[in-house]
């Protein structure tokens, strides 16, 4: 069964265009908050202990790093395409983010009402581990390709013309001017598609392969095969951990 690019799941549109690019500490804060959020529609503040984020016995350097991370994280936003695909809207991810060293230390946050529906869709469809890998993707091309193909996993194959794929990965034509260097298929393939596929595979998000279809020696279409990455064998399995601060020998 082959999927059409017009049949995407709701989370694709909101998150594919949102360049989160979170670092390790921001990702840990974000996923801990998502784990706490159970009723997004109620708009209740979320609170987690600093120990969950910084570990035991944090020092002043750790608090400084946390303050810097929260300052940047508070500015993250969702980018939502308009209904006619020629407009964009920008919406904050958080109402606020704050932390205190009092009462053993805690972090408090409130997700923005503009983001709650998309966050609920995200957490209902994906694991926290998958979300952590996703929000740490550093390039918008990689994010867009992931969300596009993630919506096609059930179909396993998606058939798309080169021009359609450029629109998906680089953005609609109105927003592609800065990516003019990728108009040649070879440049688009080697510097965008292949690099994005490698990153997605290395992150353990999806296994992706593709075949090129030519018309008069020109590549006009790709057929992409998409599968979940195989889980590691028991001998290779280890708990996923985000290492924030390397231990220092005493």
> What's the confidence (pLDDT) of residue 136?
86
What rounded mean pLDDT belongs to the chain? 79
Tokens of 247: 């231990």
> What's the confidence (pLDDT) of residue 243?
37
Mean pLDDT is highest, among 37-41, 94-98, 239-243, for 94-98
* Domain 138-228 coded CATH 3.40.50.2300: no
Task: State the pTM of this model.
Answer: 0.72
Residue 195: pLDDT band (50, 70, 90) is very high
Class of domain 19-134: mainly alpha
Average pLDDT over residues 81-95: 76
- The ranges assigned to domains in the chain are 19-134, 138-228
pLDDT over 80 (residue 250) = no
Q: Which residue has the higher pLDDT, 117 or 242?
A: 117
Q: With 0-12 CB in 10 A as exposed, 13-18 as middle and 19+ as buried, what is 24?
A: middle
> What's the confidence (pLDDT) of residue 69?
93
pLDDT over 70 (residue 234) = no
Average pLDDT over residues 169-196: 77
Mean pLDDT is highest, among 89-103, 112-126, 212-226, for 212-226
Helix (H) or strand (E) holding 90: strand 88-92
Q: Which residue has the higher pLDDT, 125 or 70?
A: 70
pLDDT digits 0-9 by tens, 27-81: 999 999 998 887 665 678 899 999 888 888 888 898 899 999 999 999 998 877 6
> Do 19-134 and 138-228 come out as alike in CATH topology?
yes
Interatomic CA distance for residues 93 and 114, integer angstroms? 7
Interatomic CA distance for residues 185 and 218, integer angstroms? 9
Residue 246: pLDDT band (50, 70, 90) is very low
Residue 95: pLDDT band (50, 70, 90) is very high
Interatomic CA distance for residues 95 and 106, integer angstroms? 17
Say if CB 221 and CB 162 are below 8 A apart: yes
């Amino acid at each position: 069964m082959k999927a059409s690019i017009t049949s995407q799941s709701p989370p694709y549109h909101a998150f594919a265009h949102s360049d989160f690019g979170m670092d390790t500490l921001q990702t840990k804060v974000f996923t801990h908050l998502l784990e706490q959020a159970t009723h997004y529609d109620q708009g209740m503040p979320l609170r987690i202990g600093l120990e969950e984020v910084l570990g035991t016995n944090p020092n002043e350097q750790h608090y400084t790093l946390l303050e810097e991370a929260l300052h940047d994280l508070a500015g993250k936003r969702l980018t939502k395409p308009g209904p006619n695909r020629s407009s964009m809207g920008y919406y904050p991810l958080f109402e606020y983010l704050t932390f205190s060293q009092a009462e053993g230390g805690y972090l408090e946050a409130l997700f923005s009402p503009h983001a709650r529906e998309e966050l609920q869709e995200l957490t209902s469809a994906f694991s926290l581990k998958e979300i952590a890998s996703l929000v740490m993707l550093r390039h918008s091309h990689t994010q867009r390709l992931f969300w596009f193909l993630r919506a096609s996993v059930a179909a396993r194959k998606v058939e798309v013309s080169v021009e359609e794929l450029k629109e998906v990965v680089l953005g609609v034509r109105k927003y592609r001017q800065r990516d003019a260097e990728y108009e040649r298929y070879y440049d688009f393939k080697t510097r965008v598609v292949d690099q994005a596929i490698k990153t997605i595979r290395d992150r353990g998000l999806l296994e992706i392969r593709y075949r090129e279809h030519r018309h008069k020696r020109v590549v006009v279409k790709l057929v992409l095969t998409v599968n979940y990455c195989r889980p590691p064998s028991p001998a290779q399995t280890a708990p996923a951990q985000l290492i924030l601060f390397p231990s220092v020998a005493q």
